[in-house]
């Protein structure tokens, strides 16, 4: 019996591995963004979506803890369309799982599978990135998952609404992934 290992080809910033439907990219690093023209967190629909996301990640159904990375923004593209994007960092609530790189690759694989059917690649995009979070001596070898979600609309308001819907898709995908991983972990332990 041979053991199959999942492989993800990570691409440098600017290039990506692309999947059908919602554009889901697995990247080596999340891109840095310059100053935004408006803060997305001030938009009521974005604020509500962030509050819902945070409360669901703190709930018992989630295996994850989320941390906002302060990069929420709404801006205008050169053609006048609105763009809303934001970054979140996820790590496992159970610290023992935080060092398991393979578990994070399973999360990435499941998120790709679940998110690629949500939305359309022209208006909704997610970038996933495995981050080595353990830079301090107290937590070497600890990982987190960086996620950037971006939505495009005819206006900033439409982009913010699409972004909120994209965040809801991400939230549901993470809850489903939590259930899936719990099943795998309980099978492994029994």
pLDDT digits (tens, 9 = 90+) for 94-118: 888 888 899 999 999 999 999 887 6
Q: Is the pLDDT of residue 6 over 60?
A: no
Q: 17: which residues sit within 8 A by CB, 6+ positions away? A: 8, 9, 11, 25, 26
What DSSP string describes 102-158?
Answer: HHHHHHHHHHHHHHTTSS-TTTEEEEEEEEE---STTSTT-EEEEEEEEEEESSHHH
Residues paired with residue 126 on neighbouring β-strands, in sequence order: 24, 149
Position 13 in a domain: no
Position 109 in a domain: yes
pTM of the model: 0.78
Position 15 in a domain: no
Distances (CA, A) of 167 to 67, 69, 147, 150: 14, 15, 11, 9
What pLDDT is stored for residue 24 in this prediction? 86
Q: 184: which residues sit within 8 A by CB, 6+ positions away? A: 106
What pLDDT is stored for residue 176 in this prediction? 96
List the domain range (segments joined by +) for residue 93.
23-189
Position 1 in a domain: no
pLDDT digits (tens, 9 = 90+) for 51-75: 899 999 999 999 999 887 655 677 7
Position 2 in a domain: no
Domains identified in the chain, total number:
1
Position 18 in a domain: no
Distance CA 87, CA 146 (A): 7
Position 7 in a domain: no
Instruction: For residue 74, give both structure tokens.
Output: 């709404």
Q: Is the pLDDT of residue 23 over 60?
A: yes
pLDDT digits (tens, 9 = 90+) for 135-178: 554 566 789 999 999 999 998 888 988 999 999 999 999 999 99
Position 161 in a domain: yes
Q: What is the DSSP letter of 70?
A: S
Distance CA 187, CA 102 (A): 16
């Amino acid at each position: 019996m041979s053991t199959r290992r999942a492989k993800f080809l990570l691409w440098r910033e600017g290039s990506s591995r692309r999947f059908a439907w919602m554009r889901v990219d697995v990247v080596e690093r999340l891109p840095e963004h310059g100053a935004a023209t408006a803060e997305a967190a001030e938009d009521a629909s974005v604020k509500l979506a962030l509050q819902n996301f945070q409360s669901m990640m703190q709930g018992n159904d989630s295996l994850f803890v989320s941390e906002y990375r302060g990069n929420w923004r709404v801006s205008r593209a050169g053609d006048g369309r609105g763009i809303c994007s934001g970054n979140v960092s996820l790590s496992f609530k159970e610290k023992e799982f935080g060092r398991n790189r393979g578990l994070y690759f399973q999360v990435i694989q499941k998120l790709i599978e679940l998110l690629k059917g949500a939305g359309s690649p022209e208006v909704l995009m997610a970038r996933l990135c495995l981050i080595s979070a353990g830079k301090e001596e107290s937590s070497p070898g600890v990982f987190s998952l960086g996620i950037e979600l971006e939505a495009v609309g005819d206006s900033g308001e439409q982009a913010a609404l699409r972004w909120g819907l994209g965040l809801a898709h991400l939230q549901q995908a993470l809850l489903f992934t939590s259930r899936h991983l719990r099943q795998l972990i309980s099978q492994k332990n029994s």
